[in-house]
Amino acid sequence: MRPMHIASVGVPRLSAYVARAVARPSVATASRCAPVTGMRAFSFARACHRDTAWLDRGRMTYEELKPYTEAPSGKITLIDVREPNEVAQGMIPAAVNVPLSEFGSAFNPNSYSENANDFERKFSFPRPSFDDPIVFYCRSGKRSQQALETARERGWWNARNYSGSWMDWVAHEKEKQSSEDEE
């Protein structure tokens, strides 16, 4: 019996068809898909199945963030991008710190596999995967916006910014404390 040649079963034609289908998605598919740009480590098909409901809420507010900090589930990673000397003033409960000065190298998708252990050793938590929900904050919201933009450009699409950041958090906590003291 003679071996069958791949061309005789039509595999090249099938792979060409698949390549054209991926390169030019139908209008119905494209409308449900987020754009796939930049250095993303996921496929077009995976990008089409994103749950953007959490992301579509826009900027994070104190009222939305507070329940996550009271009962952390581990589903959301809250990242403080302030420098260590600022973090010494305090942090939002359940937050972890990745200073903005180290953010670019820490969230480099090209170093994902070889430096994953280094990230965890350096920052004491595993680097979030590309699909994990992330909330960034800083002192007033400007640096966390920079971190958000960098993260999204590099493939961490499911990230939001706590717009008030540390200053807003402290103001709300003081207000809450003073209202409890009056009772």
Task: For 20-38, write each residue's pLDDT tens digit.
Answer: 333 333 333 333 344 444 4
- Do strands 77-80 and 134-137 pair parallel, antiparallel, or not at all (unpaired)? parallel
Give the contacts of 27 (CB within 8 A, at least 6 positions apart). none
**Please, where are the H alpha helices in the chain?**
11-23, 27-32, 44-47, 62-70, 84-87, 100-106, 112-123, 142-153, 165-182
Question: Position 82: which residue type?
Answer: R
d(CA 95, CA 80): 6
Q: How far are the Cα atoms of 9, 113, 114, 141 from residue 82, in angstroms, in the given order?
A: 59, 26, 26, 10
Q: Residue 138 catalytic?
A: yes
SS3 content of the chain, % helix, strand, coil (to 5): 50, 10, 40
- Model pLDDT for residues 125-181, shown as the tens digit of each residue: 999 999 999 999 999 999 999 999 999 999 999 999 998 899 999 999 999 888 777
d(CA 182, CA 20): 68
For the chain, domains (ranges, CATH) are 54-181 (3.40.250.10)
**Helix (H) / strand (E) containing 68:** helix 62-70
d(CA 12, CA 118): 42
Query: Does 15 or 107 have the greater pLDDT score?
Result: 107
Active-site hit among 138, 148, 151, 159:
138
